[in-house]
Amino acid sequence: MLRASAWTSRARCVRAYATDARPCAKYLKVTHPDLMHASPSAPVAQQLARFDETTLGTYVRPRVVFTHGAGLDLYAELPTESGRPREYQRYLDFSAGIAVNSLGHADPQVAEIAGDQASKLVHASNLFYNQWSGKMASRLVALTREHGGLGVSPGSRAAPGEELQVFLANSGTEANEAALKFARKWATHKNQDKQRTVLVSFRHGFHGRTMGALSLTPNPKYQAPFQPLIGDVRYGDFNDATQLAELVRDDVAGVIVEPIQGEGGVLPADIEWLVALRQRCTEVGAALIYDEVQCGLFRTGAMWCHSAMPLEAHPDMVTIAKPLANGFPIGAVLMRAHIAAAIQPGDHGTTFGGGPLTCRIAHHVLGRLADPALRAQVQAESAHLETRLARISTLFPDLVDGATSPRGRGLLQGISMRTPAHAGRVVALARERGVLFLTAGSDTVRFAPSLTVRADQVAHAMDVLESVLLVLRDEST
């Protein structure tokens, strides 16, 4: 049973906001409280108790238990007494599972494909070929040639021996680990007379939590408990071209950077800086890696975040994960031929990467994401979202830093709060009104909805955000 909520009709606060100077005030009251005081006899409370007893607490989670979803909707179980019909409350997920569910939750086509493939073959190991890993890799390369990326102009063909190649893994951090290893191997292969081991990344970047990826994530919060990390790592300041000559020297094997720093605060790289970084890597013979785990695969409106950039800004490798299989675990490194030529059998491996189940799903997802109608929808709703966020920055100059907000590209946007602690408070207040946002960096509220988001959903999410900021303003005075 679905309990009616305060936003059953999502479009009811849709209005001519461009000419209305008043923030939406229809969502001031809490409608979706967290389960802080549920009766111990309620089934959902018992679920939480079992979780707390047996699951390692590496995340601080709100007391909400999601059970199912559809599109951008997620449904959480309510604390009904044991023996009574279970009830659920609906949330609008404006986070897409941290930019993962680009086609939304419980997509019927994905579900059908997953069920069919699971009945045929899930795993056979990389000791053998399977039907779908090559098909998926081929589609990934073909789409990159169609849309541009990794030094490829849109629609161009590969010269013999110059085709892009793919390594398949299980997650974003694994993809980054692989790319860092490939950079060092390529540097050794290319410069046999001189050892190159240094890896370079940039402050506020986030590349994962395994030891190698963590070593390239220069945030004391993540790194400090696990020191010492891997050696020969050097950090620079994002978008600072004056540092590049000293930072990227001839001892550098590889440089990794996000074209838009997601976890760091939705911070876009300057294209001119990326061109200078590419040039410096070429000068010293270092591999350039773009981590597009969060910003790639059409989230910014293009296939890759760098697809629309000049070829002079393109990387040697791009890492991919989050949306590639719409929630099924997968990661990949797409690389130019000169990097692939340095990697030999036995240099790297994976037990689960490239399995037929996830690769068949990813093959389908890639086709859906590349659909021109979906890309047009992304562009339209990106403009809608950016317009609403700009309005919010104007309406709340006391709370939102209008000089830096909004920022981002496509359906990866952020606003900075003048008081850093307010970012987490905005996320909590919105959740209590049935909308899920994300934080990023120290002060940023992040918006990364599914690429299937509709105009009424953007409007509703932004209306709730306006109401939440009114509540926050009252709390702050």
For residue range 187-202, list pLDDT tens digits in order: 988 777 577 899 999 9
Label the pairing between strands 73-77 and 66-70: antiparallel
Least confident of 42-51, 269-278, 370-379, 385-394: 42-51
Express as a percent the part of the chain with pLDDT over 70.
95
The dihedral built from the CA positions of residue 52, 55, 60 and 62, taken in this order, carries a sign that is: negative
Least confident of 17-21, 41-45, 406-410: 17-21
Residue 146's SS3 state is: helix
Mapped onto helix, strand or coil, the DSSP state of residue 233 is strand
Q: Residue 19: is its pLDDT beyond 60?
A: no
What whole-number percentage of the chain has pLDDT above 90? 88
Which residues, at least 6 apart from 72, have a Cβ–Cβ distance to it below 8 Å?
Answer: 92, 93, 94, 96, 104, 105, 449, 450, 452, 453, 457
pLDDT band, very low/low/confident/very high, at 11 (cuts 50, 70, 90): very low
What's the pTM?
Answer: 0.94
pLDDT for residue 193 = 59
- Residue 277 has which token pair? 């970084």
pLDDT at 8 over 90: no
CB atoms within 10 A of CB 228: 8
> How much is the average pLDDT of 295-302?
97
284-292: average pLDDT: 97
Question: In the prediction, which pLDDT does 17 show?
Answer: 56
Q: Hey, which bits of 407-448 come out as E strands?
A: 407-409, 412-416, 435-436, 438-440, 444-447
Q: Return residue ranges of the chain for CATH 3.90.1150.10.
A: 14-63+90-107+373-476
CATH class of 14-63+90-107+373-476: alpha beta
Contact 147, 307 (CB under 8 A): yes
SS (H, E, C) 82-113: CCCCCCEEEEEECCHHHHCCCCCECCHHHHHH
Average pLDDT estimate for 326-342? 97
- The residue among 475, 450, 472, 447 whose CA lies nearest residue 461 is 447
In this predicted structure, the answer to whether residue 2 has a pLDDT above a threshold of 50 is: no
SS3 assignment, position 331: strand
pLDDT higher than threshold 50 for residue 6: no
The residues of the chain that CATH labels 3.40.640.10 are 121-370
Residue 264: DSSP 8-state: T
Residue 40: per-residue pLDDT: 82
pLDDT of residue 290: 98
The closest alpha carbon to 168, from 298, 334, 322, 294, belongs to 334
Q: What is the pLDDT of residues 354-392, one digit of tens each?
A: 999 999 999 999 999 999 999 999 999 999 999 999 999
Q: What is the pLDDT of residue 3?
A: 45
Q: Give the pLDDT confidence score for residue 14 in this predicted structure.
A: 46
- Amino acid symbol at 92: L
pLDDT at residue 137 in the model: 98
Dump pLDDT digits (tens) for 70-109. Answer: 999 999 998 887 777 888 999 999 999 999 999 999 999 9
3-state secondary structure of 17: helix
Over residues 210-234, mean pLDDT = 95
In 309-383, at which residue ranges do the beta strands (DSSP E only) sit?
A: 317-320, 331-335
9 pLDDT exceeds 60? no
Tokens of 198: 């240094």
Q: What is the mean pLDDT of residues 23-33?
A: 97
Across the range 128-154, mean pLDDT stands at: 97
Q: Does domain 121-370 have CATH number 3.40.640.10?
A: yes
